[in-house]
Amino acid sequence: MQCLSCGSANVAERLERTAQGYRRFRCRECGRQFNERTAGVLNRTQYPSDVIALVVLWRLRYRLTLRDLSEMFLARGLVFSYEAVREWEAKLTPILSDELRQRRGRRRLTPTWMRPTSRPAGDGAISTGRSIAMVRWLM
């Protein structure tokens, strides 16, 4: 980990953690203290980053309403407003879309062939099916 203010690699990890369990560091050059989330998009949020990412992914993937998401997580013991979901979505959507675009460029197609299958026809004769090409996405 490097210091965010001076860029020094001379950083010591502190024993204590933040209230949310993130590691804390101290730069030996400039004396500044920071944690794993410092200078990130979700630095000042009250909830863990993985929970926020899950909320935003569910919002984008399943097209849930803002109020539905807040009610779903209320049942799991997390209380936040639909306005918080809207703010998180505005912050994370550009980052997630850039990441998905980069991953999409690395994919390639690999054809996979299935064997012909034999199955009994209605009159008792055996008919042979034809080969079906399937495409498997590789990361």
pLDDT tens, residue order, the chain (139 aa): 888 888 888 999 999 998 888 899 999 999 988 888 888 888 888 888 889 989 998 998 899 999 999 999 999 999 999 999 999 999 999 988 888 788 877 655 555 555 555 555 555 544 444 433 333 333 3
Count helices and strands in the chain by DSSP H and E runs: 3, 7
Instruction: State residue 122's pLDDT score.
Output: 52
Instruction: State residue 6's pLDDT score.
Output: 87
Instruction: State residue 36's pLDDT score.
Output: 85
- DSSP states along 16-83: EE-TTS-EEEEETTT--EEETTTTSTTTT-SS-HHHHHHHHHHHHHH---HHHHHHHHHTTT----HH
